[in-house]
Amino acid sequence: TREQCGWGLPRSPLQYLPLCLDDTAGPDPSTWAPWTHKPACVEADETPWCVFTNAAMPRGNGERRGISIVTTPALAADAFDLTRHPLAAAFDAIPPKKRFDALPYEVRDVPGKGKGAVATRRIEKGRVVLIDHVMVLATTEFPADVMHEEVQELLSRGVEQLNESESVYGLAKKGREEQGLTEVEDVLLTNSFEIAIEDQSYMWIFPDLSRLNHACKTTLAMTVWSSRDIEPGEEITITYSDTDQTYAERQKTFAQVWGFDCTCSLCTAPEQQRNASDKRRLRIHMLRERVLKRAKEGDFKRAIKATEELFQVAEEEGLTPHMGDLYEIPARLYYQVGDLERAREYTKRSLYQVEGLGVPGGKDIERVRVLKGVLSRIENEMENTKGPGEGQGEERG
Ligand SMILES: C[S@@+](CC[C@H](N)C(=O)[O-])C[C@H]1O[C@@H](n2cnc3c(N)ncnc32)[C@H](O)[C@@H]1O
């Protein structure tokens, strides 16, 4: 009916569409919790798709930029339950000595890249550069019976219902209206990170993170921390691509997915240098697979050999910070062959990476707990086996 479905937003760039308000939510705003706006939905075969907004969601530093999520009611109540994943927790998880009181960079024009984040002070390795929270989170895969216009309306409502919709609309755009893209689609496509939730792909908009340009040799998380010292005046960058990708593969991804030509120092390096980098990246890819294969086969000694080469090539390519996930492998392998010293070293590295990137509410808290348990077990064993030649060489089951 018109009462249920006749709502449109006067500020929307589109003509209003008859999105249905979620009739499971009553007229009393207190029944919409944790949402500050009554969910608006489009009907599809299996489930409605709706926009859920909490315009007052605090983010830990006192700001309330809010959050909008375009998803199904089931996922909104479960995977995206704001009461279980408070945005402020990301701030609380970082020890104060790792953060800065004020942002250590400013957003400026950067030649060849639009705007970018440029350091305004020295940022030592291992400091938290920024902690951002997602403001718009929207599925990229709607069922075939949902019309393009309906998708646009869900997305633009999502942005416009936020207190600070300019933080999203003010981000970089490519001006792709002539390609049939609406403003909201252009902004989302230019700035979002694609992350899957329960096998469904989502665009995530982190407005502060969105100002960081791509470079091929740094690291990415919702919490951005410095993987090396950064001097004042240096641009702070993150990687948009898979680090195993070669020059040609990266260019293809950037052109197809993001629509830009990369001008980072590696992509614009002389061909010889680029080829040497490609060779190392292909070797890294091959070695990753070899390590896993050998470990699976129980051939720990050869798995360790491949791991050592992997870390060496990653170091040469400047990709050590990206190897964080992999430190657990040598930790386990060295433990298996009884080299507790090295097992401890790699468990510590792994812990440092996981803690550095920790997003509370996610799996990382669990990984930190497990890794701390593993570390204390290794240290206890080291205590108990003190003495000459202890623990080395004997294999574990
Ligand atoms: C997420 S935004 C990054 C911030 C953006 N430069 C701005 O002005 O807000 C992504 C866009 O920045 C530009 N960009 C990012 N990294 C680049 C790079 N390495 N080379 C050239 N352009 C880049 C591209 O236009 C890309 O579509």
pLDDT digits (tens, 9 = 90+) for 347-391: 998 887 776 654 444 456 677 888 899 999 999 999 988 765 544
Is the minimum distance from the CB of 254 to ligand 1 under 6 angstroms?
no
Residue 190 Cα, ligand 1 centroid: separation in angstroms? Answer: 8
pLDDT of residue 362: 47
Output the pLDDT for position 387: 62
What ipTM is given for this predicted complex? 0.97
Does ligand 1 come within 6 angstroms of the Cβ of 190? yes
Distance CA(284)–CA(10), nearest Å, equals 53
Name the residue with higher pLDDT: 134 or 249. Answer: 249
Q: How much of the chain exceeds pLDDT 90, in percent?
A: 37
Is the model's pLDDT at 31 over the cut of 60? yes
Whole-number average pLDDT of the chain: 82
What is the domain partition of the chain in residue ranges? Answer: 2-101+130-208, 271-384
| Token code pair at residue 209 | 């993170």
| Percent with pLDDT over 70 in the chain | 85
Sheet with 40-42, edge to edge strand ranges: 20-21, 40-42, 49-54, 67-71, 136-139, 200-205, 193-197
CATH code 1.25.40 for 271-384: yes
> pLDDT tens-digit profile of 223-243?
787 878 899 999 998 888 777
Residue of 108, 181, 213, 266 to test ligand 1 pocket, by largest number of atoms within 8 Å of CB? 213
Task: Report CA(196)–ligand 1 centroid distance (Å).
Answer: 22
Statement: residue 135 has pLDDT above 70:
yes
DSSP letters, 143-196, are -TTS-HHHHHHHHHHHHHTSTTTHHHHTS-----GGGT--HHHHHHHHH-EEEE
> Rounded mean pLDDT of 252-266?
88
